[in-house]
């Protein structure tokens, strides 16, 4: 088991890991010459069976990579390689870098990768509930598996011995590519790769940048996970970074809670996703916050709210919109027969 901060915890009923930042680091583990599993994370390498209350709070992983290979299973996460039951991961972010896993063993084995953690278990629903809350991941995920692949922008795989909703992902977003091949099943999703049992995981206020990959919220379950489709959906890059409350992610609850989440108008050609401003996240510079290059030059996305027709004109709300209009026109975009309202 490998990690930058904490390798492995076990035999402690309650464990708290808090206030850790990992910068410009890498974790590499290669077990292709042996038969064991590979576990790799940047904050935590893994948690044993006897850790029944694990809390990971207020942690940052910035511009760091995890690479792991094994003949058996690969468990990999941007924050934790894998966790057990009664886990709370909150106020954490993974920005930049890469998660890359390879399993070249038996067809029954494979890769589990999550932007936050690869595996989470709910256990007994009333006493061992697990949750991931107030997190975001902006990184790419790649995998090669001779067997199954479970790849999720937030969580790789969810399990629950109680077979009821005992795990929650809420107030989370993901932006990144998910690419790879699997010899058996490819279970990939922007929130969670799969849940071994149906209806064990509840998704709430979870969004992803649908311009980055073609997956939905999840895959690999026969019955849909418990969730409200109105607040579990993919948005375009423009919608993810737009600061206007009427159309941007930063205007949607809970990302409009300015005591927890921040947003920024474009700075130096960079457009920002919503970001945490509490705890150690308050110390992040603008360059370290999640950003993308100007997305408004993309012809596949609407630049402004509205349809651009006489009946439904583009809406120029504020000075930021005027700046964007100037930017895309200077870049060569034309609006010859389109309509706008200021």
Place of tokens 């959906």: 233
On whether the CB atoms of residues 204 and 169 are closer than 8 A, the answer is yes
Q: Of 192, 289, 179, whose CA–CA distance to 232 is shortest?
A: 192
Q: What is the pLDDT of residue 300?
A: 41
Contact (CB, 8 A) for 340 and 308: yes
pTM, two decimal places: 0.84
> Can you give the pLDDT at residue 224?
61
The set of residues, in sequence order, having a beta carbon less than 8 Å from that of 337 and lying 6+ positions away, is none
> Which residue, among 219, 149, 154, has the nearest Cα to 179 in the 3D structure?
149
Asked if 91 and 276 count as a contact pair (C-beta separation under 8 A), the reply is: yes
What pLDDT was estimated at residue 72?
87
Q: Is 317 helix (H, G, I), strand (E, B) or coil?
A: coil
pLDDT recorded at residue 7: 64
Contact call for residues 245 and 256 (beta carbons, < 8 A): yes
* Closest to 62 measured CA to CA, from 212, 287, 327, 322: 287
- Per the structure block, which two tokens stand in for 293? 């290059």
Q: What is the mean pLDDT of each run of 10 residues along the chain (342 residues)?
A: 58 84 90 82 77 88 92 91 84 95 80 92 62 96 93 89 70 97 93 79 93 90 72 91 75 93 85 96 93 67 61 74 74 61 54
Separation of alpha carbons 112 and 77, rounded Å: 8
The per-residue pLDDT for 174 is 98
Which residues face 288 on adjacent strands?
none
Q: How would DSSP label each residue in 147-179?
A: SEEEEESSEEEEE-TT-SS-EEEEEEEE---EE
CA-to-CA distance for 62 and 94, rounded, in angstroms?
Answer: 6
What span, in angstroms and rounded, lies between the C-alpha atoms of 195 and 134? 21
State phi, psi for 44 to the nearest 5 degrees: -135, 135
Q: What pLDDT is attached to residue 341?
A: 54
Q: Which residues contact 126 (CB under 8 A, 6 or more apart)?
A: none
Question: 311 Cβ partners below 8 Å, 6+ apart?
Answer: none
């Amino acid at each position: 088991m490998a990690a930058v901060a904490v390798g492995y915890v076990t035999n402690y009923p309650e464990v708290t890991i808090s206030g850790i930042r990992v910068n410009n680091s890498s974790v590499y583990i290669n077990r292709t010459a042996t038969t064991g599993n590979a576990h790799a994370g940047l904050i935590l390498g893994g948690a044993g069976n006897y850790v029944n209350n694990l809390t990971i709070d207020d942690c940052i992983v910035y511009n760091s990579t995890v690479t792991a290979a094994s003949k058996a299973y690969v468990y990999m996460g941007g924050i934790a390689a894998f966790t057990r039951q009664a886990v709370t991961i909150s106020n954490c972010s993974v920005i930049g870098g890469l998660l890359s896993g390879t399993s070249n063993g038996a067809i029954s084995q494979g890769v589990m990768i999550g932007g936050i953690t690869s595996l989470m278990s709910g256990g007994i629903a009333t006493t061992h509930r697990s949750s991931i809350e107030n997190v975001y991941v902006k990184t790419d995920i790649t995998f090669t598996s001779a067997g199954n692949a479970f790849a999720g922008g937030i969580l790789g795989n969810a399990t629950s011995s109680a077979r009821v909703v005992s795990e929650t992902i809420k107030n989370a977003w993901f932006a990144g590519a998910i690419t790879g091949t699997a010899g058996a099943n490819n279970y990939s999703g922007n929130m969670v790769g799969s849940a071994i049992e149906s209806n064990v995981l509840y998704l709430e206020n979870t969004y992803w940048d649908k311009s980055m990959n073609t997956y939905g919220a999840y895959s690999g379950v026969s019955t849909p996970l418990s969730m409200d489709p109105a607040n579990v959906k993919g948005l375009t890059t423009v919608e993810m970074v737009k600061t206007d409350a009427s159309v941007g992610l930063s205007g949607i609850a809970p990302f409009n809670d300015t005591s927890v989440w921040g947003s920024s108008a474009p700075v130096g050609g960079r457009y920002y996703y919503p970001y945490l401003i509490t705890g150690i996240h308050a110390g992040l510079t603008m360059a370290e916050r999640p950003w993308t290059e100007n997305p408004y030059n993309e012809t596949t996305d609407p630049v402004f709210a509205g349809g651009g027709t006489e009946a439904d004109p583009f809406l120029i709300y504020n000075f930021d919109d005027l700046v964007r209009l100037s930017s895309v026109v200077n870049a060569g975009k034309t609006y010859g027969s389109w309509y706008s309202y200021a």
